[in-house]
Amino acid sequence: MVITLIGYRGTGKSTVAAPLASRLGWSWVDADEDIETWIGRSIREIFAQEGEEAFRKYERETMQRLLDWDRGIIAAGGGAILNEQTRQDIQNAGPVVWLTASPQTIVSRMEDDDTTAERRPNLTTCGGKQEVERLLNEREPLYRECADVIVDTEGKDVDALVNEIMAAVEPLLQEGAGE
């Protein structure tokens, strides 16, 4: 069984994954970092050299492999849900937790992360808050389709988020263990 954390970049997936995994005694992985290690380039470089289509192919292959884990937490890339088969696979693998934040909070968190600019490309020509708002508008129905649990990360520290996620997924984990 896998718990997949989904949501736009900057919503806290990677930040929450490690302490959540520690609480459960499970392993965890950041899918984007896994892709970068596998391909040997940053996501920004993959986009620049091969384009978004190639990156999405790598993302699909990575998610297929990771979703075969037993007792793992996956911090999925923000766009992993764009692939219909990946959405189905995520849902079949175990509980899906959608982490949310306002566009302004997302932009602020991305600006505060020194690695964002060097590792992550803009996904539209507009960039910034306008890009976040546009892509959230496009992706929210897909996040909602996948999510078993929705957790708003606004103004909450990591411990509070882990506690909220644990409270929501424990019944789902019990259900899954009984199957």
Q: How many residues does the chain have?
A: 179
Yes or no: say if 24 and 12 are a contact pair by the CB < 8 Å rule: no
Q: Is residue 126 part of a domain?
A: yes
Q: Is residue 42 part of a domain?
A: yes
Q: Is residue 178 part of a domain?
A: no
Query: Which residue segment(s) compose the domain that 100 sits in?
Result: 2-172
- The pLDDT tens digits of the residues spanning 98-154 come to 999 999 888 887 777 666 555 555 444 456 788 888 889 999 999 999 999 999 999
The span from the CA of 36 to the CA of 112, in Å, is 21
Q: What share of the chain is helix, strand, coil (3-state, %, to 5)?
A: 65, 10, 25
Q: Is residue 179 part of a domain?
A: no
**Using CB atoms within 10 A of its CB, is residue 6 exposed (0-12), middle (13-18) or buried (19+)?**
buried
Residue 49 phi, psi (nearest 5): -90, -35
CA dihedral 120, 125, 126, 128 (to 10 degrees): 0
With bands split at pLDDT 50, 70 and 90, how would you rate the model's confidence at 175?
confident
Any idea which residue has 């899954």 for tokens? 176
The span from the CA of 131 to the CA of 122, in Å, is 8
Yes or no: say if 89 and 167 are a contact pair by the CB < 8 Å rule: no
| pTM of the model as a whole | 0.90
- The pLDDT tens digits of the residues spanning 60-90 come to 999 999 999 999 999 999 999 999 999 999 9
- The pLDDT tens digits of the residues spanning 5-35 come to 999 988 999 999 999 999 999 999 999 999 9
DSSP 8-state assignment for residue 36: H
Q: How far is CA 97 from CA 7, 33, 54, 85, 144, in A?
A: 8, 19, 26, 18, 10
Query: What CATH number does residue 111 fall under?
Result: 3.40.50.300
Phi/psi region, residue 7 (left: phi>0; alpha: psi -120 to 50; beta: rest), is: left
Measure CA of the first residue to CA of the last residue in the chain; give whole Å: 11
The domain total for the chain is 1
